[in-house]
Amino acid sequence: MVMTAASRLLGLVRIRIISSLVGATLMGDLLFFTLNIPNNVRKIFAEGAFSSAFVPEYSCRYHRDKQEAGQFFFRTAAVLCIISAVMGAGFLLFGSQLLHAVSDFGDEVIHPAGIVLLGIFTIYTLGIFLTNAASGALHVRRRFFAPSLAPLILSASVIVCSLLLFDLWGVYAVAAGFAVGALIPAVWLMLVMLRRIPETAVRISLRDSRTFFRRWGRLIALQSAFLVSQQVSFYLASTLQEGNVIQYSNAIILWQMPFGVFFASIMTVLYPMISQFHHQGEHAELAGTMNTGIEHVLTFLLPSAVLLTVFSREVCTVVLLAGNYTQEAADQTAAILRFFAPGMVLLGLTQLFLRKYYLQQFWKKAAVITLLAASLDILFSILLIRTPLGITGLAAAFTAAYGITALCAVDFSLIHRKTAQTCLKIIFSNILMLAVLAVLVRLVPLQSRGLMEAILRIIFLGAPAALLLGLLYRKIGISFFRLLRSRQS
């Protein structure tokens, strides 16, 4: 979690630099729009569906036969390389038609910039594919440090390439930074895996991996619904005024920062554990770990949502206001962020239980939840973007959709009475923190603008609220690292 937080903070520097160089312009919209397409493919093949299928299968094989696990890893890595090659060829041949179909950009923008950006981002996607495969295998082996450096390397690469090459290459310099930053950790982690696996394991045969590929295929089908809903959101954003795509994308990046730090870190440790318990038939331990996961999701994501909602303008001013990114664009991004922030808690609970359903192969229930979330998101987006909410309606649609979905996804029968009481205490503590923040905001109005004013308001208003929450958590016995202690014991 510490390393992920460091990488996300460097990521804030990254988006500040990109925003200052590109601004809320048409080329900025194109950059983030084309990045979103391979990012969605990455979420399906290298993150959501892939990790949900790969980690349990690799964990089962690793605890049974380490050489068999090594063979399985390299077979999977070979398939990911083939997928990247097919995707790159598809972008090269049909990239123009794809961008015309999913965006409202004109032909003069798509040719050649859009096609070139898609090609560069294909290399980035390959690096992410291999990095995630190696990271998943190392997590099962209880090796967390090396994979945690990958996001730091990515952000550092984007920053260096953007600063050094933007005057020469424009937005292509930013894209090149993503590609290089993804390939470096991919090569490094693959070499780490080679050192840990016997040479006899390095052979390619797909015959005995059919179970994994069947599960992965089902998960790809399910995760495609999320891809469609997000792509619809970006399409709707591209139909509005210039700069809305980059504003919408920046809002997503900002709310995903705490979500990525906390939820991703929790699941990195928790998912291999529940996979092991499931394969060993230890249902009581699995249920206990799930309850701990629920507590941790609320412990970290609820205050993140509260603070991000209250300080949305300040955060956007500090992170984005520079160079070509104006105060007006930062304020518009803040308005979108305010509607996105509550959704992180709802998404976290939904994703936590979906991972459990994937593991247990409850495909029908997972399909209903997934399609419900995607359908509601698309429906609400189409309706709300036509209201005075405009671009902020897309974020409101996301939060509303996952509010309904979370109620359907959570298995309330699994939750222990003690966990329910703890969750109520966490919710009460955050409501109290929000009340204190509301009083402080009235005493110190948040109307002034500017970088230093925003920083000072975050420090002098956010720090007392965060301190109060920490004291309340300590008083009611909320342990931040219970998951770690239970694993060690």
* Domain shared by 193 and 236, yes or no: no
pLDDT at position 202, please?
A: 45
| Separation of CA 205 from chain center | 32
* Domain shared by 76 and 174, yes or no: yes
pLDDT at position 11, please?
A: 80
* Domain shared by 181 and 70, yes or no: yes
Residue 486 lies in a domain: no
DSSP assignment of 70-116: HHHHHHHHHHHHHHHHHHHHHHHHHHHHHHHHH----HHHIIIIIHH
* Residue 222 in tokens: 């399910």
pLDDT at position 209, please?
A: 63
* Domain shared by 196 and 335, yes or no: no
Q: DSSP letter at 410?
A: -
Residue 56 lies in a domain: yes
End-to-end CA separation in angstroms for the chain: 20
pLDDT at position 280, please?
A: 81
Q: What angle do CA 207, 209, 214 make, to 5 degrees?
A: 115
Domain limits for position 142:
26-205
Q: What percent of the chain has pLDDT over 90?
A: 23
Q: What percent of the chain has pLDDT over 70?
A: 90
Q: What is the pLDDT of residues 287-299, one digit of tens each?
A: 888 998 999 999 9
Q: Is 110 exposed, middle or buried (0-12, 13-18, 19+ CB in 10 A)?
A: buried
Query: Tokens 């603070």 appear where?
Result: 307
Question: Could you tell me the maximum CA-CA distance found in the chain, to the nearest angstrom?
Answer: 69
Q: What is the pLDDT of residues 106-132, one digit of tens each?
A: 777 677 777 888 888 888 888 888 888
pLDDT at position 449, please?
A: 60
* Domain shared by 300 and 407, yes or no: yes
* Domain shared by 375 and 425, yes or no: yes
**Residue 112 preceded by cis peptide, ω within 30:** yes
Residue 91 has pLDDT above 50, yes or no: yes
Q: What is the mean pLDDT of residues 217-236?
A: 83
- Counted domains in the chain: 2
Q: What is the mean pLDDT of residues 210-229?
A: 78
Please report, to the nearest 10 degrees, the dihedral formed by the alpha carbons of residues 386, 343, 28, 243 taken in order. Answer: 30
pLDDT top residue among 222 and 366 = 366
Q: What is the pLDDT of residues 421-451, one digit of tens each?
A: 989 999 999 999 988 888 887 776 655 566 6
47 band by pLDDT with thresholds 50, 70 and 90: low
- Cα-based distances in Å from 458 to 134, 201, 252, 302, 434: 38, 53, 20, 18, 14
Q: What is the pLDDT of residues 338-394, one digit of tens each?
A: 999 999 999 999 999 998 888 888 889 999 999 999 999 999 999 999 899 989 999
* Domain shared by 293 and 168, yes or no: no
Residue 489 lies in a domain: no
* Domain shared by 242 and 369, yes or no: yes
Q: Where are the alpha helices (DSSP H) in 197-322?
A: 210-238, 244-280, 283-310, 312-320
Average pLDDT of the chain to the nearest whole number: 83
Residue 36 has pLDDT above 90, yes or no: no
Identify the domain boundary among 177, 205, 233: 205
Residue 356 lies in a domain: yes
**What's the pTM value of the predicted model, to 2 decimals?**
0.73
Residue 13 lies in a domain: no
* Residue 6 in tokens: 């460091």
pLDDT at position 316, please?
A: 86
* Domain shared by 222 and 364, yes or no: yes
> Which residues are within 8 A (CB) of 82 and not within 5 positions of it... i.e. 6 or more apart?
none
* Domain shared by 190 and 224, yes or no: no
Residue 15 lies in a domain: no
447: helix, strand or coil: coil
pLDDT top residue among 220 and 481 = 220
For residues 112-130, b (16+ Cβ closer than 10 Å) or e, as one string?
A: ebbbebbbbbbbbbbbbbb
* Domain shared by 275 and 387, yes or no: yes
Residue 469 lies in a domain: yes
Identify the domain boundary among 180, 205, 230: 205
Residue 212 lies in a domain: no
Identify the domain boundary among 205, 240, 270: 205
pLDDT at position 46, please?
A: 61
pLDDT at position 68, please?
A: 77
* Domain shared by 177 and 312, yes or no: no
